[in-house]
């Protein structure tokens, strides 16, 4: 008889992906969330998983073999959590279940860091798949080469996006301590998740815990020029290091060094160097030097897993990126609209620099929704006035949860800026950007639903064109 699992918070990226893996393992799977949205709602439906909007005790009758509890909006006091505790049902966090049920006995390859985790993990999975390794993967997005966020795979390798956010209401450690990777990528390290961490030092402590889980015969891939990562490594590291850098570091570090050469202005092509020797080249549709760095890290990790660098570089030429990572959602004469997940100042800056290099003098309009937990608290607002300098103008959307003076940031911006707090008005403003001597490139940057602006703007522009 198949194991019966119930997932609380099944609509989330992690929990929904775990439910998909459990289903592929033959388990009987169901779960609930407050609300479900595409693309996860579609993936769950396609897998035949029963999902409920809102919790009712009847969903847990008969009792499941295990309740898997997510960390989003599931604190003590929530009716579902209290039911599980009062009825003594067996339960585990999502990260704990993944570590024990899926990753044990496999070769986990984890992509961690403040920025680029999703894209880098997708690159590694695609390289391994290209090399016929049939990897499993769990990624916090939908990779274009696979169309799903999670797959069990039959190979020994399992690629996981390793998030530093806390695990659950009963386990305040970062999720990634449950994954025990053999190959670990740490892309970069900055202050984020201000609702969980008070300062960068607390984040570095969690990453130090992650370093402690990597075996001595494993590999840790880190940037050659990141003092925050280096500080964490100095707290203790027992595993060989490989470093990567788009630009040459001031002095060669110990261990292998991966670099890029002949990088196109928009980063659409580059040569790959390992220890100064060319080992491949990449030509692809992605833009931005940050994606070149992601590629170097992915190639280093994939080589550790057994894929030669030249084969890995060839694989990246067919890499299709990830949904919501500069995804072109409208392409009409005079206007293009992109959906991008950037919400941290550094990610906003690198994204806009990438598209500026791609489009030259054409107009770039940044539309930023700073409503994540960290941004809504105003923790990084001092950096926001500078991060949009590559755009021609920026529109800040003031959501209801913003607790700081958005107007002050707009006034200090390096480019013309304004604040809007109504989605319909914003849609009308953006639709009017079409036309003029130079095409308009509108970049919508948010990690949430952004008030449904994507569908509304697509519909408005389609109607205008008709």
Q: What is the pLDDT of residues 384-418, one digit of tens each?
A: 888 899 999 999 988 888 877 888 888 888 899 99
pLDDT at 425: 93
Strand 107-112, strand 183-186: pairing: parallel
Q: Looking at the chain, how many residues does it have? A: 466
- Which of 59, 94, 129 is where one domain is finished? 94
Q: Is the pLDDT of residue 361 over 90?
A: yes
pLDDT tens, residue by residue, 284-293 = 999 999 999 9
pLDDT at 174: 92
Is residue 321 domain-resident?
A: no
**What gap in Å lies between CA 263 and CA 345, rounded to an integer?**
24
- Is 366 in contact with 417 (CB distance < 8 Å)? no
- The label of the residue with tokens 């009963």 reads 170
Residue 198 tokens read as 């008070």
Is residue 140 domain-resident?
A: yes
Residue 355 tokens read as 């598209």
Residue 1 pLDDT class (50, 70, 90 cuts): low
Residue 436 pLDDT class (50, 70, 90 cuts): confident
**What gap in Å lies between CA 298 and CA 271, rounded to an integer?**
15
End-to-end CA distance of the chain: 56
Range of lowest pLDDT (115-119, 313-317, 460-464): 460-464
pLDDT at 408: 87
Is residue 167 domain-resident?
A: yes
| Residue 293 and residue 183 share a domain | yes
For position 377, which CATH number holds? Answer: 3.90.190.20
| Residue 144 and residue 26 share a domain | no
Q: Mean per-residue pLDDT for 118-140?
A: 97
**DSSP class per residue in 359-379:** HTTSEEEEEE---SHHHHTTT
State the helix-helix crossing angle for 289-304 and 117-130, rounded to 10 degrees: 50
Residue 449 pLDDT class (50, 70, 90 cuts): confident
Return all residues near 22 (Cβ < 8 A) that are at least 6 apart: 5, 7, 29, 101
**What gap in Å lies between CA 47 and CA 152, rounded to an integer?**
13
pLDDT at 379: 67
For position 130, which CATH number holds? Answer: 3.40.1190.10
| Residue 234 and residue 116 share a domain | yes
Is residue 99 domain-resident?
A: no
pLDDT tens, residue by residue, 328-337 = 988 999 999 9
| Residue 309 and residue 335 share a domain | no
- Is 49 in contact with 25 (CB distance < 8 Å)? no
State the helix-helix crossing angle for 309-316 and 289-304, rounded to 10 degrees: 140
Q: Which of 267, 294, 292 is nearest to 116 (CA)?
A: 294
Residue 217 tokens read as 């015969």
DSSP assignment letter at 60: G
- Is 125 in contact with 153 (CB distance < 8 Å)? no
Q: How many domains does the chain have?
A: 3
Q: Mean per-residue pLDDT for 333-358?
A: 89
For position 40, which CATH number holds? Answer: 3.40.50.720
What are the φ/ψ torsions at residue 300 (nearest 5 degrees)?
-65, -45
pLDDT at 83: 97
pLDDT at 377: 64
Q: Which of 175, 125, 176, 120 is nearest to 147 (CA)?
A: 125
For the chain, how big is the Rg over CA atoms in Å?
22
- Using DSSP's 3-state secondary structure scheme, residue 72 falls into coil
| Residue 303 and residue 331 share a domain | no
pLDDT at 247: 84
Residue 233 pLDDT class (50, 70, 90 cuts): very high
Neighbours of 401 (CB within 10 A): 12
pLDDT at 378: 64
Return all residues near 382 (Cβ < 8 A) that are at least 6 apart: none
Neighbours of 25 (CB within 10 A): 14
Strand 269-274, strand 277-283: pairing: antiparallel
| Residue 371 and residue 252 share a domain | no
- The label of the residue with tokens 């604040």 reads 419
Residue 72 pLDDT class (50, 70, 90 cuts): confident
β-bridge partners, 418: 395
How far from the centroid of its chain's Cα atoms is residue 355's Cα? 19
State the helix-helix crossing angle for 453-465 and 423-431, rounded to 10 degrees: 40
Residue of higher predicted confidence among 6 and 34: 6
Q: What percent of the chain has pLDDT over 90?
A: 70
Residue 120 tokens read as 């880098």
Over the chain, what is the mean pLDDT? 92
What are the φ/ψ torsions at residue 30 (nearest 5 degrees)?
-150, 175
| Residue 397 and residue 290 share a domain | no
- Is 420 in contact with 426 (CB distance < 8 Å)? yes
Q: Is the pLDDT of residue 127 over 90?
A: yes
pLDDT at 375: 65
Cis ω for the linkage preceding 39 (within 30 of 0)? yes
Range of the domain at 373: 327-465
DSSP assignment letter at 1: -
| Residue 144 and residue 276 share a domain | yes
Residue 197 pLDDT class (50, 70, 90 cuts): confident
CA distances (Å), origin 262, targets 118, 268, 411: 26, 11, 38
pTM over 0.95: no
pLDDT at 403: 79
Q: Which of 328, 322, 347 is nearest to 454 (CA)?
A: 328
Range of lowest pLDDT (9-23, 65-79, 100-114, 188-202): 188-202
- Is 192 in contact with 374 (CB distance < 8 Å)? yes
Residue 341 pLDDT class (50, 70, 90 cuts): confident
- Is 388 in contact with 415 (CB distance < 8 Å)? yes
| Residue 247 and residue 335 share a domain | no
Cis ω for the linkage preceding 99 (within 30 of 0)? no
Q: Is the pLDDT of residue 19 over 80?
A: yes
Q: Is the pLDDT of residue 249 over 80?
A: no
| Residue 386 and residue 310 share a domain | no
pLDDT at 367: 93
pLDDT at 398: 87
| Residue 140 and residue 89 share a domain | no
| Residue 305 and residue 354 share a domain | no
**What gap in Å lies between CA 335 and CA 82, rounded to an integer?**
51
Residue 46 tokens read as 């396609």
């Amino acid at each position: 008889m198949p194991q019966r699992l119930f997932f609380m918070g099944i609509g989330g990226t992690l929990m929904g992906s775990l439910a998909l893996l459990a289903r592929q393992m033959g388990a009987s799977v169901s779960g609930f969330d407050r609300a479900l949205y595409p693309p996860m709602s579609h993936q769950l439906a396609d897998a035949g998983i029963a999902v409920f909007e809102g919790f009712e005790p009847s969903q847990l009758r008969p009792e499941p073999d295990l309740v898997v509890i997510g960390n989003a909006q599931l604190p003590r006091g929530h009716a579902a959590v209290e039911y599980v505790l009062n009825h003594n049902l067996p339960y585990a966090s999502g990260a704990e279940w993944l570590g024990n049920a899926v990753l044990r006995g496999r070769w986990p390859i984890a992509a961690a860091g403040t920025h680029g985790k999703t894209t880098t993990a997708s690159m590694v999975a695609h390289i391994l798949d290209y090399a016929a390794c049939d990897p499993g993967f769990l990624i916090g997005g939908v990779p274009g080469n696979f169309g799903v966020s999670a797959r069990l795979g039959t190979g020994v390798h399992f690629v996981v996006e390793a998030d530093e956010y806390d695990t659950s209401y009963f386990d305040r450690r970062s999720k990634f301590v449950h994954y025990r990777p053999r190959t670990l990528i740490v892309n970069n390290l900055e202050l984020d998740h201000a609702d969980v961490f008070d300062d960068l030092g607390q984040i570095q402590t969690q990453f130090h815990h992650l370093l402690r889980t990597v075996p001595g015969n494993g590999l840790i891939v880190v940037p050659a020029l990141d003092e925050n990562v280096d500080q964490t490594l100095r707290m203790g590291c027992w595993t060989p290091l490989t470093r990567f850098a788009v630009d040459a570091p001031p002095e060669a570090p110990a261990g292998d060094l991966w670099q890029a050469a002949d990088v196109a202005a928009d980063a659409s092509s580059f040569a790959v160097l390992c220890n100064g020797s060319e080992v491949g080249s990449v030509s692809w549709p992605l833009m931005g030097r940050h994606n070149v760095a992601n590629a170097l890290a992915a190639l280093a990790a994939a080589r550790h897993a057994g894929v030669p660098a030249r084969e890995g570089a060839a694989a990246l030429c067919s890499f299709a990126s990830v949904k919501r990572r500069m995804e072109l959602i409208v392409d009409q004469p005079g206007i293009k609209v992109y959906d991008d997940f950037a919400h941290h100042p550094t990610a906003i800056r690198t994204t806009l620099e990438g598209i500026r290099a791609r489009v030259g003098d054409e107009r770039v309009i940044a539309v930023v929704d700073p409503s994540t937990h960290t941004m809504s608290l105003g923790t990084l607002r001092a950096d926001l006035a500078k991060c949009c300098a590559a755009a021609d103008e920026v529109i800040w959307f003031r959501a209801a949860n913003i607790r700081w003076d958005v107007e002050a940031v707009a006034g200090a911006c390096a480019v013309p800026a304004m604040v809007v707090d109504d989605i319909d008005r914003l849609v009308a403003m953006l639709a009017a950007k079409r036309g003029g001597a130079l095409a308009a490139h509108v970049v919508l940057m948010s990690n949430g639903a952004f008030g449904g602006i994507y569908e509304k703007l697509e519909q408005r522009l389609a109607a205008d064109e008709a």
